[in-house]
Amino acid sequence: MKQLLSVGTVLIFAAVCARLVPHPPNVTPVIAMALVGGIYMDWRTGLIVPLAALFLSDIILGFHGLMLYVYGSVILTILLGRLVQRKKNYLTLTGASLCSSILFFVVTNAGVWFQGGGRFYPMTIDGLLMSYAFALPFFRNAILGDLFYVGLLVGLFEFARRHGYLPDHSPREIVPSTRKVVEGR
């Protein structure tokens, strides 16, 4: 537990720094941290790490009207990580990373549409679709960033686990996605 707390502290610091330094739009490790935290950390630590990183960086960057949607997306992504936890392989990790990007995109852009109250986009289905259409350039960045950071963080967690820096949790070990079913089991 102590090891996960120190890993969590390092991740919070790294994510805050990543949000504060210049970066391409929507390319930060926060969503990846939420997904990987849901997979590798206990529920409480996995929840605290990405939310603390968001909150601390929002103190500096400024609070905004979409926080409910952003923080809600992070919590849903943590839950997605919990679902992937026991069936983790390269395919499910890639799929979960893509799903978390889509989840964030859908929820936050619906929030932009809804919170705007018709100022930015009409309060119609067409207005909602316009909100999504105008956000597509940012979505590509989010997908690429999330895939990169999920791969990086999973690699770091697996390295740390395999070399004894974190507790070994056998059911969480990455297995090839094309394993054979053994008869008689």
**37: region left, alpha or beta (phi > 0 left; psi from -120 to 50 alpha):** alpha
- Name the one residue in this structure whose structure tokens are 């979409």: 66
In this structure, are residues 30 and 53 in contact, taking their beta carbons and an 8 Å threshold? yes
pLDDT at 140: 95
The class level of CATH for 2-165 reads: mainly alpha
The domain locations on the chain are 2-165
In this structure, are residues 139 and 101 in contact, taking their beta carbons and an 8 Å threshold? yes
Is the pTM higher than 0.95? The answer reads no
Higher-scoring residue by pLDDT: 9, 147: 147
Whether 10 shows a pLDDT value over 70: the answer reads yes
Residue 68: φ, ψ to 5° = -60, -45
- Kindly report, residue by residue over 164-181, the tens digit of the pLDDT: 877 654 344 444 444 444
- Kindly report, residue by residue over 55-70, the tens digit of the pLDDT: 999 999 999 999 999 9
Angle at 103 between CA 178 and CA 160, to 5 degrees: 55
- Kindly report, residue by residue over 63-106, the tens digit of the pLDDT: 999 999 999 999 999 999 999 998 889 999 999 999 999 999 99
pLDDT at 3: 61
Residue 178: φ, ψ to 5° = -115, 40
